[in-house]
Amino acid sequence: MELAFEAHGNSTGVVVIHGRLDLMTAVELKTRLEGLVDEGWSRLVLDLDGVQFIDSSGLGAMIAGLRAARVAGGDCRIARAGEQIQHILHVSTLDRVLTPYGTVEEALVGYE
Amino acid sequence: MNDPLVGVTARFPARPEGLDDLHEALDRFFLAAERAGASVRAGDRVALVTAAGEIAANIVAHACRELPDAEVLVALSRGHDHIEARFEDPGIPCGEPEADRVDPVPHLGIGLNLARLCVDALEYARTFGTNHWRLVRLTREA
């Protein structure tokens, strides 16, 4: 998994992720997201265009990021989720709390 | 459900990095199906990939956690009306998946429930010290 961060304002940022979010990478993702929130980036957008696969471990890491962001008064949104990601979000019913946005720009609306 | 049109078999280490091999096998399987004129529609493909990923992760993280040298066998096949994944591993016995309910926040055990929700049949058996998993997804019309 590769992860890059782009700041969009004082507390908003886009996390661009490439690779698979699974057993092997979930802990790193959780740690990075919680670290960003700790640094003050409480309004995050996860750009998932480069993510081919997510399993329940990856979902858990994203939920941990969402929880940390909300505790800090922000939010964590996802954008450009592919078919497998949308499928697992739907099956797990997590699309109720992690609503997929079609584009990063749409996900950023209302953040600043 | 006999007479598979396409089949791919692979072995991968029962370690987290072994999941790379599983995904390579899945890619090869769907490509082979396409080349055989038995393409799998995207909805069925992502469902099987999701379920297979959860079962493999469960094997690696739980059943074979104490067996770093263990190998997992995966056999993927495409029939006329279904796609199927079978796993065999030498790990500790696994309990049956829980009820169909999925909690809103992932935790231990959600992976098996997710897998069950993605396929039409999820079977588990333990024979002669080996765990056997069988996942069947009936293929839908486009």
Question: How far is A79 from A102, CA to CA, in rounded Å?
Answer: 6
> pLDDT tier at B142 (50, 70, 90 boundaries)?
low
Question: How far is A22 from A29, CA to CA, in rounded Å?
Answer: 10
CA atoms within 13 A on the CB side of B118: 34
pLDDT at A14 over 80: yes
Question: How far is B114 from B37, CA to CA, in rounded Å?
Answer: 30
Nearest CA to B111 out of A56, A62, A87 is that of: A56
**Residue in chain B nearest A59 by alpha carbon:** B106
Chain B nearest-CA distance from A91, in A, is 7
Chain A residues whose CB is inside 8 A of the B110 CB are 56, 92
B50 in A contact zone (CB under 8 Å): yes
pLDDT of amino acid A99: 85
Contact A20 B23 (CB under 8 A): yes
pLDDT at B106 over 60: no
pLDDT of amino acid B101: 41
* Residues paired with B121 in a beta bridge: B136
B49 in A contact zone (CB under 8 Å): yes
* Residues paired with A21 in a beta bridge: A54
**Averaged pLDDT, A94-99:** 92
pLDDT of amino acid B2: 60
**Averaged pLDDT, B135-139:** 97
B13 in A contact zone (CB under 8 Å): no
Chain A nearest-CA distance from B95, in A, is 18
CB contacts < 8 Å between A and B, how many? 66
What is the pTM for the complete model shown?
0.91
Contact A63 B46 (CB under 8 A): no
Question: Could you report the per-residue pLDDT of B44-65, keeping only the tens digit for each?
Answer: 999 999 999 999 999 999 899 8
Question: How far is A1 from B19, CA to CA, in rounded Å?
Answer: 13
Q: What is the mean pLDDT of chain B?
A: 88
A111 Cα distance to chain centroid:
15
A27 in B contact zone (CB under 8 Å): no
pLDDT of amino acid B6: 94
A97 in B contact zone (CB under 8 Å): yes
Q: Distance of CA B99 to CAs A65, A110, B117, B131, Å?
A: 27, 39, 10, 20
